[in-house]
Amino acid sequence: TRRTDTPPEPSTPERVDTRSPRWKAFQASVADRGLTYEEVAAYCESRNRSRPSAMTPANLDRLARHLATDRGREEVLEHAGRVLGDA
């Protein structure tokens, strides 16, 4: 038998499961901070990052921690053109 050497499939990072408790908790935390998913997604894309639904679980957790800070929330609101009094 002749064996052909084929390169391995490129490894793609695991994306977050949008049906998981982790995803539901992320969505709840976004809403609790007075933000919308689309505002957060647009903010991420403006920083050359993936939309949250395309992130790895580790990156989603990192984003959630950032959004839990006043600075993170303010950055998203500023990007969305909202003033803090609107939220």
Greatest Cα pair distance, the chain, in angstroms, is: 72
Spatial distance between the Cα atoms of 1 and 63, rounded to a whole number of angstroms: 51
20-79 pLDDT tens trace: 999 999 999 999 999 999 999 999 999 999 999 999 999 999 999 999 999 999 999 999
Cα separation values, 20 from 16, 37, 71, Å: 8, 16, 27
Cα 14 versus chain centre, distance:
13
Residue 46 region by backbone torsions, left for phi larger than 0, else alpha for psi between -120 and 50, else beta:
alpha
2-17 pLDDT tens trace: 555 665 555 566 899 9
pTM (2 d.p.):
0.78
